[in-house]
Amino acid sequence: MPENNKKKPSKTIAKNIIKTVLGQVPFTAEIYWLTRHRDKSLNSRFSLKKLNDNLPSICAQVNEMRSNKQEGGKKVFIFATLHYWIEHAAVTGLVLSGMGNDVTLGYLPYHDWQNEINRFDQRRQNLYAQDVLNKAEPLLKSISLLDLHAGYKVLPDLLQEKIEEVTRFDSMYTLQVETVDKSSEIYKLRCKRNVKAARAAFEWLSNNKPDLVIVPNGTIQEFGVIYEVARFMNIETVTYEFGDQRQRIWIAQNSKVMHQDTQDMWEAYKEVELTRTEKGKIRELFEARRKASVWKNFSRLWQQVPAKGVEIARSELGLDERPVVLLATNVLGDSLTLGREVFSNSMEEWLERTLQYFVGKTEAQLVIRIHPGEVLIHGQSMVDVINRVLPSLPEHIHVIGPEEKVNTYDLIAAADLGLVYTTTVGLEMAMSGVPVIVVGETHYRNRGFTLDLEGWVKYYKTINAILEDPTFYKLGKEQIDLAWAYAYRFFFDFPLPFPYHLVNLWEDYRSHPVGEITKSSSWSEYEPIFRYLVGEKIDWEAIKQKK
């Protein structure tokens, strides 16, 4: 056993060395593919097997759709990398093709974004993807960006700056940090891949001039790169993402979907009072989150333990009658925090300066709730930031670690003031009548129920004023009602109906084959969303009227 265990690593190393050498030799991967992979399968994490299995059926259904469509659709370029996104983009692109659009799927055949791959395996994965995607021709054309030879084309300075920003975000997202080391391996890898993708995309888009580019996410990795190239070239661009709700999608037009810009949606709905049914629905969701249970089509468990009650929580934390300030953090590097600075340079700086401010404010109690999601991270914890600033905590500052069995809603019930960066906890505090200072550029900022400050001086003065008279600053009924209404709109109206979720793609497809949904009554609900994906302006007034 020990000898075998020793041999395995050496064999793997030798194999990788051989692949690295062969990867530099023209046609070696191609010859290997033709001779060793006659069944056109690939024993790799990069798997398009389910797409391959379902393509004949999907294409037959899309052909039937197209037979009923007239010419006049758009010339669309949809991009994806990572095998699961490629599968999803292919299905989405085929539906768009069935609606009469001329669709090209551009892709990069990677199975992850943070590890180097030798050129031999990269070329094999490329050949495999081509074999699978060619089966969708001519309904869905495809082009690998690896096959585009843009050489060392110099990108325009402004675009180069945008690509560097994406690379910085990639490092933050991958390492879960806010300070980026440009000499790190992940930064260098992401820089190399991003620049290469930018050159290839710039070349293809310049030569083929699509009417529209569709790309998931639009903030990080090659998704962010393609978005930046398209916007630099003034090509209409649509980004999309999926949250934790089944059969729902977020869509943004000419902006990054992860910014969750709810402005147009809120303009349409903000004067509309919630119906009794809608009020019941949002209260059910809020109560499920408080009780640490999954609600209906939501897949996320928001709390690890149910609420115990505010008095029990106060007792367990040792809180007295002094005002309580609840500071809720985000996970470092979360895509919902990238580029969200308003007056602080980072979330980390905000936490540091807030800690320094509260050290001397013994007349109040600061409770810092570290995001429970940190139990899943491998990067820097916000606890590390706290320990660096305050190696020894004063008695009036309490830190609740990510693994501690404390329900955030008990803390909200105890709070006189909330401090947040972009976390949804800020919205939930406002729903409970707690005044909330929002430091980052989050979707619920400037919606009428939070304190949205622009500088450090105003930040400190506002905290001080609230602590002097907490009762005066409690939210009134009108603001609380507004917060509840916004929460309903954000959770139930902002995510649009869509048949295929990324995580449950093939399960959703079995339940909703293309041919069936286009002939069913539900198509009237889904069709407008596919039109939004190809640039038709999202009409929130029309959506509101259909409810």
Q: pLDDT digit string (tens) for 166-217?
A: 999 999 999 988 889 999 999 999 999 999 999 999 999 999 999 999 999 9
Reply yes or no on whether the pLDDT at 12 is more than 70. Answer: no
Tokens describing residue 177: 């940090």
Count up the domains in the chain and report the number: 1
Per-residue pLDDT, 392: 93
The CA dihedral of 320, 322, 323, 329, to the nearest 10 degrees, is: -50
CB half-sphere exposure, 487, CA atoms < 13 A? 26
Task: Tell me if 325 sits within 8 A of 415, measured CB to CB.
Answer: yes
Between CA 33 and CA 41, with CA 38 as vertex, the angle to 5 degrees is: 75
Q: Which of 292-296, 379-383, 406-410, 454-458 has the lowest mean pLDDT?
A: 292-296
Per-residue pLDDT, 6: 41
Per-residue pLDDT, 308: 61
- Does residue 399 lie within any of the structural domains? yes
- Does residue 103 lie within any of the structural domains? no
Q: pLDDT digit string (tens) for 408-453?
A: 888 998 999 999 999 999 999 999 999 999 999 999 999 999 999 9
- Does residue 321 lie within any of the structural domains? yes
SS3 per-residue string spanning 220-280:
CHHHHHHHHHHHHCCCEEEEEECCCECCEEEEEECCCHHHCCCHHHHHHHCCCCCCHHHHH
Name beta bridge partners: 108.
81
Q: pLDDT digit string (tens) for 28-77?
A: 545 544 555 555 555 568 999 999 999 999 999 999 998 776 667 999 99
Angle of helix 83-98 relative to helix 49-67, nearest 10 degrees, comes to 10
Name beta bridge partners: 236.
212
Average pLDDT, the chain: 88
Q: pLDDT digit string (tens) for 331-357?
A: 887 877 889 999 999 999 999 999 999
Instruction: Using only the alpha carbons of the chain, give its radius of gyration.
Output: 26
Tokens describing residue 430: 């406002």
Average pLDDT, integer, range 87-104: 97
Tokens describing residue 304: 């690890």
Average pLDDT, integer, range 12-18: 51
- Does residue 160 lie within any of the structural domains? no
Domain that holds residue 381: 274-493
Question: Against a cut of 0.85, is the pTM above it?
Answer: yes
| Amino acid type, 344 | S
Confidence class for position 480, pLDDT limits 50, 70, 90: very high
Contacts of 262 (CB under 8 A, 6+ apart): 443, 444, 447, 489, 490, 494
What is the enclosing helix (H) or strand (E) of 458? helix 456-468
Q: pLDDT digit string (tens) for 515-532?
A: 999 999 999 999 999 999
The CA dihedral of 335, 76, 141, 105, to the nearest 10 degrees, is: 0
Per-residue pLDDT, 297: 44
Confidence class for position 120, pLDDT limits 50, 70, 90: confident
CA distance 205 to 77: 9
Tokens describing residue 24: 């530099």
Per-residue pLDDT, 28: 54
Task: Tell me if 467 sits within 8 A of 322, measured CB to CB.
Answer: no
Confidence class for position 133, pLDDT limits 50, 70, 90: very high
Average pLDDT, integer, range 485-498: 96
- Does residue 40 lie within any of the structural domains? no
Tokens describing residue 322: 């002094």
- Max alpha carbon distance in the chain (Å)? 78
Question: For position 355, which CATH number holds?
Answer: 3.40.50.2000
CA distance 149 to 106: 14
Complete DSSP assignment for 180-223 = --TTSHHHHHHHHHHHHHHHHHHHHHHHH--SEEEEESSSSHHH
Average pLDDT, integer, range 120-146: 94
